[in-house]
Amino acid sequence: MAAGSDLVAGELMVDGLARTFVVRLPRDGQAGGPVPLVLVLHGNMPGTSGSIMREWTTFDAQADAWGFAVAYPDGSQGCWADGRGVTTADEAGLDDVAFLRAIIDWSAESHGTCPDRAVVAGISNGAFMAHRLALEASAQVAVLAAVAGGLPAALCDLRPPHAVSAMLIHGTDDPLVPIEGGYSRHRGPDGELRGRTLSLRDTAERWRTIDRCPPQPGSTRTTEGSSRHRVTGGAGGTQVVTWTVFGGGHQWPGPTSASRATGPATQEFDAAEEICRFAQPLLVPAGARLL
Q: Is residue 37 part of a domain?
A: yes
Pairing of strands 118-123, 37-41: parallel
Q: What is the pLDDT of residues 142-157, one digit of tens each?
A: 999 999 999 999 999 9
Q: Is residue 44 part of a domain?
A: yes
Q: Residue 269 maps to which CATH number?
A: 3.40.50.1820
CA angle 285, 61, 107 (to 5 degrees): 40
Q: Count structural domains, the chain.
A: 1
Three-state DSSP state, 55: helix
Domain residues for 13?
A: 7-289
Cβ 154 vs Cβ 285: under 8 Å:
no
Q: Is residue 1 part of a domain?
A: no
The string of DSSP letters for 195-231 reads: --B--HHHHHHHHHHHTTPPS---EEEE-SSEEEEEE
Per-residue pLDDT for 237 more than 50? yes
Quote the distance between the C-alpha of residue 93 and its chain's center.
Answer: 21
Q: Is residue 39 part of a domain?
A: yes
pTM: 0.95
Distance set, CA 250 to CA 80, 169, 194, 195 (Å): 18, 11, 20, 18
Q: What is the pLDDT of residues 81-124, one digit of tens each?
A: 999 999 999 999 999 999 999 999 999 999 999 999 999 999 99
Per-residue pLDDT for 67 more than 90? yes
